[in-house]
Structure 1
Amino acid sequence: MYKKPIIVFEGIEGSGKTSHIKFVENFLKKEKLKYLKIREPGGSSNAEKIRNLILKKNSSFNKTTDLLLYLSARSENIELLKKNFQKKIILIDRFIDSTIAYQHYGMGVNLNLIKTINNFLLKDIKVDFTFLHTVDKKNMFSRLKERKNLNRYDKFKFNFYNKVQNGFLKLSKKNKKKYLIVNSNLDIDFNKHQIINQIKKILR
């Protein structure tokens, strides 16, 4: 019997997390393991509507509205998460740490406010393991240039992304056993190998 954990992929724009989550998906399919994959913001139908609102190029919400929209999208996913919690492996592209890293460390929103609403929404739903992807300035911007469509969060100055990435790293230090730092400046096959190896350990 394999474990059914919640596994999260975190990192700033251009850090490779979305590519790596696809590698894990392919591995799970090959092993014929049941899983659910969602992204934040997004996932359920209503959460995807909120995602489109948040990320529109011409949106100009203040930082508190941004936070509440992100958490509203998460609220729309709660039933989906509850339905699959401990029944399937759950893969999430951005989750709790992203809210804290972007909204608190990046934008300066009160941390207690974020934690209070988040705890109210999630209750007993806990993350089992996080892959935190890091990337340098050169690689981040070169990868963003390759994207056909840039959203509002792809257009900040590097100082903002640097604060967010440092925020992620601070969060990872609080419980190192539940994080793997993935240096996305390294060869993609090397990172794929170490991620899949870690997935195998998590599922034992």
Structure 2
Amino acid sequence: MQPGKFITLEGIDGAGKSTHLVWLENYLMSKGITTVTTREPGGTPLGEQLRALLLDQRQTMHAETEVLLMFAARREHLDKVILPTLDKGEWVISDRFTDASFAYQGGGRGVALRKLEELERWVQGSFQPDLTLYFDVSVELGKQRVQSIKAADRFEQEQSAFFQRVRKAYLQRVRQFPERIRLIDAGRPLAEVTASLEAIMSEILSERTQ
């Protein structure tokens, strides 16, 4: 049995992750690969309750409280969904993972990176995704897309300066972990973005069969 792979999708709100999460799931299924699709925060009953709390516009909380809730949900996610699925040889596709904490809580909220790194070590040790797909889009375009789809949640209602910091932190992660994170220009037409994603996945699958 071949080991399962863990693929995460990252990007600011409106980058197109949700659309390509569905495409990726269908693509892998067409290749005979069993997948479990999940999300952060969330993915478990407890995680979904924490997600509702974190996204609720009525909530106000300290930035470090937000971080701790994110990592609490992640610990449960790893224990109940991600690691058991990978142990069965199946693949996991997640809408966000720890890179999002470094981008949103680190870059956006200004939580010290050393604190995030300590929580990362505590919650997941050396465990990291096999592949992270970062969908990069301008803050302006991301906001336009979100506003055309739904009402903003607690994060999406933040000002442009917040998302500029988030995007900057994501790009720093891309530079820091080039062997794991692949950048996709998500500001292009949908067909072009999908073609880039398909090229990356074709490369990954060819490596798997070698």
- TM-score w.r.t. structure 1 length? 0.94
Q: Is the 8 A contact 1:85 1:125 kept in 2?
A: no
Residue of structure 2 equivalent to 1:65 = 65
Q: Deviations over 1:40-59 (max 9, x none)?
A: 00101110010001101111
Residue of structure 2 equivalent to 1:26 = 26
Distance 1:112 1:76 in 2: 22
Q: Is the 8 A contact 2:36 2:91 kept in 1?
A: yes
Residue of structure 2 equivalent to 1:4 = 4
Q: Is the 8 A contact 1:130 1:179 kept in 2?
A: yes
Distance 1:198 1:117 in 2: 30
Residue of structure 1 equivalent to 2:160 = 158
State the one-letter code of the partner of 1:81.
I
Please state whether the residue corresponding to 2:179 is helix, strand or coil: helix
Aligned with 1:116 (options 115, 118, 139): 118
Residue of structure 1 equivalent to 2:194 = 192
Q: Is the 8 A contact 1:8 1:127 kept in 2?
A: yes
Unaligned 5+ residue runs, structure 1? none
When the two structures are aligned, how many residues end up with a matched partner?
Answer: 204
Amino-acid identity (%): 25
Distance 1:192 1:29 in 2: 16
Unaligned 5+ residue runs, structure 2? none
Residue of structure 2 equivalent to 1:129 = 131
Please state whether the residue corresponding to 2:184 is helix, strand or coil: strand
State the 1:184 CA deviation.
Answer: 1.2
Q: Is the 8 A contact 1:43 1:77 kept in 2?
A: yes
Residue of structure 1 equivalent to 2:180 = 178
Please state whether the residue corresponding to 2:155 is helix, strand or coil: helix
Q: In the superposition, relative to structure 1, how do residues 85 and 124 fare at CA in structure 2: closer, same or farther (>3 Å)? A: farther
RMSD of Structure 2 on Structure 1 (CA): 1.5
State the 1:124 CA deviation.
Answer: 4.2
State the 1:200 CA deviation.
Answer: 2.2
Residue of structure 1 equivalent to 2:146 = 144
Residue of structure 1 equivalent to 2:39 = 39
Q: Deviations over 1:19-68 (max 9, x none)?
A: 11111011122222111111000101110010001101111111011111
Range moving further from structure 2, 89-98 or 129-138:
129-138
After the TM superposition, which segments of 4 or more aligned residues of structure 1 sit over 6 Å from their partners?
none
Distance 1:103 1:26 in 2: 31
Q: Is the 8 A contact 1:53 1:59 kept in 2?
A: yes
State the one-letter code of the partner of 2:82.
L
State the 1:2 CA deviation.
Answer: 6.0
Range moving further from structure 2, 81-90 or 125-134:
81-90
Q: Which has the higher contact order (CA 8 A, sep 6+)?
A: 1
Distance 1:88 1:137 in 2: 35
Distance 2:202 2:128 in 1: 20
Q: Is the 8 A contact 1:9 1:21 kept in 2?
A: yes
State the 1:177 CA deviation.
Answer: 2.8
Residue of structure 2 equivalent to 1:81 = 82
- TM-score w.r.t. structure 2 length? 0.91
Q: Deviations over 1:165-194 (max 9, x none)?
A: 010001111122322211111011111111
Q: Is the 8 A contact 1:7 1:129 kept in 2?
A: yes
Q: Deviations over 1:1-31 (max 9, x none)?
A: 7662211111011111111111101112222
